[in-house]
Structure 1
Amino acid sequence: MIEVLLVEDDPSIAIVIDAALGAEGARVTHVHTLAERDRMLRERRFNALVTDVMLPDGDGIETIGAVRAVCPDMPIVILSAQNTLDTAVRATDTGAFEYFPKPFDIDELARTVRKAAGNLATGETLENDPLVTEGLPLVGRSQAMQSVFRMITRVLRNDLTVLVLGESGTGKELVAEAIHQLGNRRDGPFIAVNTAAIPAELIESELFGHEKGAFTGAVARHIGKFEQAAGGTLFLDEIGDMPMQAQTRLLRALQSGTIRRVGGQEEVRLDVRIIAATNKDLEPEIAAGRFREDLYYRLNVVPIDMPPLRERSDDIEVLARHFLQLAAREGLPRRQLTASAAQLLSQQAWPGNVRELKNFIYRLVLLAREDTIDADAVAPLLRRDAPPEDEGGSVAALDIETAIGRWLEREHPASGTIYASALAALERPLFASILKETAGNQLRAAQALGINRNTLRKRLSELALDPEEFTRR
């Protein structure tokens, strides 16, 4: 019979856990407070401890040290309604066997406790290593984000390669930053590379470096991103757009643990953690011959799927308030969001995901006339950002002639400036769309547009379009 000590102040949750663990052949002793927990641990031996975080007389995580002093080998499972990355990291920090955010799958909890009690010596617990948990880059309390937080905590004490998957704007680089900031390599550099933004002929030099004289223009030795990231983390963004030749070199580096600079003979030993990310489904890319299958399996050791914002609508309000705070720190006016405004934001689809929401909040902060932003202040901006609708309420399929006619009616450009104004109005969204597709790569964008790269660069400057805005998707 497995003896489990449950510390939970909510009787309804305790009853459900008791029943589930009983079905797994465990006998549960239920207490409500930390004081009762400590008394029971002194009086009896238990095979596992299941504890909530917020208890009437203290914090269940902060007092784990007292438990370890009495029962150093007893596995601990932590439950919490504070579903933040901070809480997940604090829980993992204690050496907990597992962390379950509420609401949790009761059957999974019961199986985990059974496994913990029966495997005291398997080494599955994480070593105790205090972490800096302030300023965490990820925000979210939805169920969809809890699996992300739990996966992050699983890779903090190892150097396994991570592949972050998700749509554009979901925050894939933030996952990489969180793993770096909270992991064993946090004292080393974090080097981010957008592999889609580097011209194909330069990507090997950028990643692996080159020796003096390796090619025309190589007037000195250049240290590549792999060496720059030594002792830290190398984040390879948009890995799905990496040229095939560079994929081959990357695979060799991952297999051998060494790199060779372009034009060099010396093998340089790698000391870096690799995190890659893409918004593409790589399996069709493999089938089409555009991505190496063996590289995919090398990168996809620990996959982390970032959910789109439409699947975590519960997070929209907390994200919006977070961005209000960020905007204030960056010198914009300090604003407050009413409940009605937050509800209106939560009802939107946000196809651009978290990045779109952040940009909207910053624009809202800038344009709002009052310190408190209500739904009436939000609605006009939402309508302005929305695509046009026809009389039936569906999105209208406008041809360019109709769009130009509407633009002329709305803007009324001054006589003598119509052509230049219309050209700028057309070029701005056109260039932005192509740059988005090429992840800010101006050479590829110019080739797609069929214009000279210098012409594109000149027009981007005149239109105040920064290609760097499109390099992080």
Structure 2
Amino acid sequence: MSSPKLFMHVQDPLLASNLLSLKSVRQYELNISQQGENWLDQLTNAQCDVALIEVNSLHDIALKALVDSPILYKTEFLFFSRGTPDPILDCLMRKGAGFHYRAPFNIKLIQSSLEEVFCELNRSHENICTQTSYLDQFGLLVGSSTAMHSLYRTIRKVAATKANVFIVGESGTGKELIANTLHVFSQRAEGPFVAINCGALSPELIDSELFGHVKGAFTGAHKDHQGVFEQAEGGTLFLDEVTEMPYEQQVKLLRVLESGEYKPVGAQQVKMANVRIISATNRTPKDAIRDEIFREDLYFRLAQFPIMAPRLRDREGDACGLAQHFLAYRNTQDGQRKQLSSQSLEKIGRYTWPGNVRELKHAIERAYILADDIIHPEHLITHDFNDQAKHDATYGVPTGMRLDDMEKIAILKTLKKNDGNKTDTANQLGISIKTLYNKLDKYEHVDFL
């Protein structure tokens, strides 16, 4: 088994000498940067697990580029600086890049950190090589890749604070599991964890859902109702797809975050919120702000600590492990002993999984149903393998049906498939979220197909 790879970009001779003398550094396969060349390009080509980077210039082009680089979530970083304030480095630390050591450097602490990372990487590599059904678990999260272990360390650190957390990631990456794990490791773990999908809230009832209402506040309010702020009292409130909350309603949420006060609909008495807010979105916040569907001031209130949920294609080795993990649980439930063939594992490892962990889990569920004892590649139905439907663009399209009825069926079926998530539904149908709301208003009181 090969050793984890370490990249070192350090220009100070004394610091470089001290680092090279560490026993933990010698455990890695060492890659030293070529001075005068862009160290991020070198790190990208070297594909190392850990990077030791000396930051000695506010004009470091590579450091700025790292903010938006996927390498940030694949590599554990240890930064070294002389303590000069650096907004770029501060931004990287808020994204959970790793450690930042300021001079004078405590070599023993650096040794300890490298040793801890080395042990975690070795465990991760062992599981990837054997492709067993066992994956490391941290709270409600499962995964043995470098990206996931980096996420675990970030969660462990931020969970102990009171900071509001903003999780950004593609659909299917497990943002709610990350939020729930943050809650489990926080000081509020004994309190409730309440999740609400902001994209599924109707504009007419959003105040009541968030803040509650008293009996008689409006037509149909036959009794008092607790909003999610009150339901989550003393615990954690998870605002999923927060960028999909109606724009004009976002200012009300901002006021609660600023003052801590809220008032149930129809009530006279003001209440004080005692919750930790964790938010999530599958959009790029910068784009949502630019498109004026998400308030910038609300974002800064919610994103005291941003976290990126890693995509499955960036979690090396985890896809095969997760497939075996899901299969093992399904076997246990049904008393079966079904297995994945080596060809199936190869197919799982090659596929990019655009739907992330959710798509993989659904693929394993379908394969489990189709297979007898062994799951073969033909049992794994993905976006790349749609059989006849892939080759026949008109497959399954009825003739003689009104176009508006076909549109209605497509919308309601897609909404049902996405468990009511309007953002995913709008994206898959190629329409705006506003258009989707307008369409659904026409279908009011119609059950999902």
- In the alignment, which of 169, 172, 180 is matched to residue 172 of structure 2? 169
Provide the C-alpha distance between the structure 1 equivalents of 2:437 and 2:247, rounded to a whole number of angstroms: 21
Candidates 341, 344, 357, aligned match of 1:341: 344
2:353 to 327, 350, 353: 350
Which amino acid in the other structure matches residue 162 of structure 2? Answer: D
Q: Runs of 5+ in structure 1 lacking a partner?
A: 1-9, 33-49, 53-80, 82-100, 121-132, 390-395, 409-417, 464-473
Query: What do the CA deviations read for 1:31-88 (whole angstroms, capped 9, x no partner)?
Result: 69xxxxxxxxxxxxxxxxx999xxxxxxxxxxxxxxxxxxxxxxxxxxxx9xxxxxxx
Structure 1 residues 12 and 219 mapped into 2: Cα distance closer, same or farther (>3 Å)?
Answer: closer
1:444–1:201 CA distance, 2 compared to 1 (3 A): farther
After TM superposition, the score normalised by the length of structure 2 is 0.65
Contact 2:169 2:310 in 1 (8 A): yes
Counterpart among 137, 142, 150 of residue 139 in structure 1: 142
Quick one: distance in 2 between partners of 1:453 and 1:349?
A: 38
- Is 1:213 matched up with 2:204? no
Other-structure match for 2:368: 365
CA distance in 1 between partners of 2:382 and 2:281 (Å) = 34
Most deviating of 197-206 and 284-293: 284-293
- Following TM superposition, by how much is the alpha carbon of 1:145 offset from its aligned partner in structure 2, in angstroms? 3.0
Structure 1 length normalisation: TM-score? 0.62
Q: Residue 21 of structure 1 contacts residue 27 of structure 1 at CA under 8 Å; is this kept in 2?
A: no
Q: Partner amino acid for 2:390?
A: P
Structure 2 gaps of 5+ residues are: 28-48, 50-72, 81-97, 110-135, 427-432
Task: Report which of the two structures shows the higher radius of gyration computed on alpha carbons.
Answer: 1
The residue that corresponds to 1:45 in the other structure is none
Q: Distance in 2 between matches of 1:51 and 1:234?
A: 45
- Equivalent position to 1:23, from 7, 12, 15: 15
Contact 1:18 1:28 in 2 (8 A): no
Matches within 5 A, 1:421-440: 429-433=410-414, 436=418, 438=422
Partner of 1:282: 285
Distance, in Å, in 1 between the alignment partners of 2:362 and 2:143 is 18
Shift of 1:311: 2.8
For residue 101 of structure 2, what is the amino acid of its counterpart? T
Distance 1:290-1:427 versus aligned 2 partners, 3 A rule: closer
Structure 1 contact 324–361 (Cα < 8 Å) conserved: yes
Q: 1:21 to 1:431 in 2, by over 3 A?
A: farther
Amino acid across the alignment from 1:221: D
Deviations 1:96-149 (A, max 9, x none): xxxxx99745766996396662999xxxxxxxxxxxx97732122333334422
Query: Does 1:383 find its partner at 2:385?
Result: yes
- CA gap of 1:450–1:11, structure 2 versus 1, over 3 A, is closer
One-letter code aligned to 2:15:
A
Q: Contact 1:230 / 1:272 at 8 angstroms: preserved in 2?
A: yes
Confirm whether residue 306 of structure 1 aligns to residue 334 of structure 2.
Answer: no
CA displacement 1:317-347 (0-9 Å, x = unmatched) = 1111121133235447443223331121121
Is 1:112 aligned to residue 104 of structure 2?
A: no
In structure 2, distance between residues paired with 1:110 and 1:278 = 26
The one-character-per-residue Cα deviations of 1:204-250 (angstroms, maximum 9, x if unpaired) are 11111112222222222221111111111100011011112321111
Q: 1:119 to 1:141 in 2, by over 3 A?
A: closer
**Contact kept in structure 2, 1:17 and 1:106, CA below 8 Å:** no
Deviations, residues 145-180 of structure 1 (Å, cap 9, x unaligned):
344223212211112000111111111111101101
C-alpha separation in 1, matches of 2:370 and 2:313: 25
Letter in 2 for 1:26: N
**Shift in CA distance, 295/375, structure 1 to aligned 2, threshold 3 Å:** same
How far apart, in 1, do the equivalents of 2:274 and 2:388 lie?
47
Deviates more, 1:233-242 or 1:283-292: 283-292
Alignment of 1:317-328 (within 5 A): 317-328=320-331
In the alignment, is the contact (CA less than 8 A) between 1:165 and 1:279 conserved in 2? yes
The structure whose RCO (Cα within 8 Å, separation 6+) is larger is 2
Decide whether the 8 Å contact of 2:363 with 2:381 is kept in 1. Answer: no
Amino acid at match of 1:438: K
Return closer, same or farther for 1:26/1:119 CA change in 2, 3 Å cut-off. closer
What is the CA–CA distance in structure 1 between the aligned matches of 2:310 and 2:74, rounded to whole Å?
A: 18
Q: Distance in 1 between matches of 2:231 and 2:371?
A: 43
Of 234, 240, 253, which aligns to 2:237?
234
Provide the C-alpha distance between the structure 1 equivalents of 2:330 and 2:400, rounded to a whole number of angstroms: 37
Matching residue's letter, 1:432: K
Give the aligned partner of residue 453 of structure 1.
444
* CA-CA distance at 1:453 after TM superposition: 1.6
2:18 maps to amino acid: A
For residue 443 of structure 2, what is the amino acid of its counterpart? N
Q: d(CA) in 1 for partners of 2:337 and 2:7?
A: 45
Contact 1:226 1:270 survives alignment (8 Å): yes
Distance 1:305 1:448, change over 3 A: same
Question: Tell me, what secondary structure is at the counterpart of 1:388?
Answer: helix
Partners of 1:334 and 1:381 lie apart in 2 by 27
- CA spacing shift, 1:314–1:19, aligned 2, 3 Å: farther
For the residues of structure 1 that align with 2:382 and 2:292, how far apart are their CA atoms? 47
The one-letter amino acid of 2:147's match is A
Residue 356 of structure 1 aligns with an amino acid whose one-letter code is: E
Q: RMSD of the alignment, in Å? A: 4.5
Contact 1:24 1:111 in 2 (8 A): no
8 A Cα contact 1:24 1:110, kept in partner: no
CA contact (8 A) 1:438 1:444 kept: no
1:259 to partner: Cα distance = 1.6
Matched position secondary structure for 2:141: coil
